[in-house]
Structure 1
Amino acid sequence: MGFLTVGEGNPRPDRRAVLTRALGVAAAGLTGGALAMGVAGPAAASARANQADWRFCSKCSGMFFRGYADDGTCPAGGGHDSAGYNFNLPHDVPATSRAQRDWRFCSKCYGLFFHGYPTSSGVCPAGGGGHALAGYDFVLPHDIPQTANTQRDWRFCRKCYGLFFWGYPTNGSCPAGGGHFAAGYDFVLPYL
């Protein structure tokens, strides 16, 4: 589909013909762009990395990964007990002013902990000192409005470095002793 030009064998086109042709080209461009966006949209969405099976532990109030045959080590004793939502956490995406990186899976207790301090990795309930990082670098949204598929009141514990739910009258069970101690951002986590 070419543009109408004036030349041998082509009389000067009228305004209606030029506009009709130009609108047809523009519509084709938009359709092609929309198709490209439709193809890129799902690809871009699948490029956004998330991991499901993160759960609230009803015994310690911490966040733990429920994707293995056992449930890790809970500071309240035994394995974690999952309850509530199936959280789908973003990972390996850029941090922003409203999303903090350096949240990691602990391969000893299966909890989610903050690994952003150079001198410590917190206190792990599975013993042997601090948490043992493994896997993805989770980037958690914070201090944003809660929506229909997100939950707020998830906080960093400055004693154990774990992530725990601060929405109940008690602060759960911290591996550093007593209840968790809330500090920092109010994390707002997506769930399925």
Structure 2
Amino acid sequence: MGFLTVRDEDPQSQARPGRRDVLTRALSLAAGLGTAAAIGAAAGPAAASPAKTASPAGAASARANQADWRFCTKCYGMFFRGYPTDGACPGGGGHDSAGYDFNLPHSIPETPTAQHNWRFCTKCYGMFFWGYPDNGRCPAGNAHAAAGYDFVLPHDIPATAKSQRNWRFCPKCYGLYFYGYPTNGRCPAGDAHSVAGYDFVLPFL
């Protein structure tokens, strides 16, 4: 059973024609190929809008996935390892990475087996759920602070050779953590994480 989403989806950037499309249309008109050819060129694939500067890893890939998301051996949470420092861990200091390099989808429509409103926290570098009026508990103090992409995480689907299940929502801190060990890591709200909601199945490289 999933948890409720109470925030509206973030506004998405408007796609604009790519440079190649504009040039093709201009050349078609200059060559006298006619209105139909020019319209066909203008209707080609649009270029992606520039990524938000607040996003943790820069420009989006063609598949709208972002790599460098890692498991922390101290708190069991998912955090972004694309900066010179490793954020703030409830286990003390920065996060310690291990395991797979997760490549997480973002900026795509939500489906019955993929949930949006997962965000990067600029304070702890962790992944947290941004779908409630408050923003959970951040190990850097107070609530999480959202920035960057709207991640859309697959859940309750079969795992493959390139994906891992047992990633869960903690209703105490709102973070995403790995639920595959006898203990549940360290929660910034105190003691271990609690488990609720979907079983997320996350792709890795």
> Shorter-chain TM-score category?
0.7 to 0.9
Structure-2-length-normalised TM-score = 0.70
Q: Does 1:148 align with 2:161?
A: yes
Asked whether the equivalents of residues 113 and 161 of structure 1 are also in contact (C-alpha less than 8 Å), the reply is: yes
2:177 aligned partner: 164
Identity %: 74
| Cα displacement (A) at 1:170 | 0.4
- SS of match in other structure, 1:171: coil
Structure number with higher helix proportion: 1
Aligned 1:49-60 pairs, distance under 5 A? 49-60=64-75
Give unpaired runs (5+ residues) of structure 1.
Answer: 1-39
Alignment of 1:43-122 (within 5 A): 47-117=62-132, 119-122=133-136
Which 5+ residue runs of structure 2 have no aligned equivalent? 1-44, 49-60
TM, length-normalised to structure 1: 0.75
AA of the residue aligned to 1:57: C
Residue by residue over 1:80-101, the C-alpha shift from the partner in whole angstroms, topping out at 9 and shown as x without a partner, is 0000000000000000000000
Q: Does structure 2 retain, via aligned residues, the 8 Å contact 1:156–1:184?
A: yes
* Displaced runs of 4 or more, over 2 A: none
How many aligned residue pairs are there? 148
CA shift digits 1:112-147 (9 cap, x unpaired) = 000011x210000001x1000000000000000000
Q: Deviations 1:40-98 (Å, cap 9, x if unpaired)?
A: 8xx9xx64200000000000000000000000000000000000000000000000000
Larger Rg: 1
CA RMSD across the alignment? 1.5
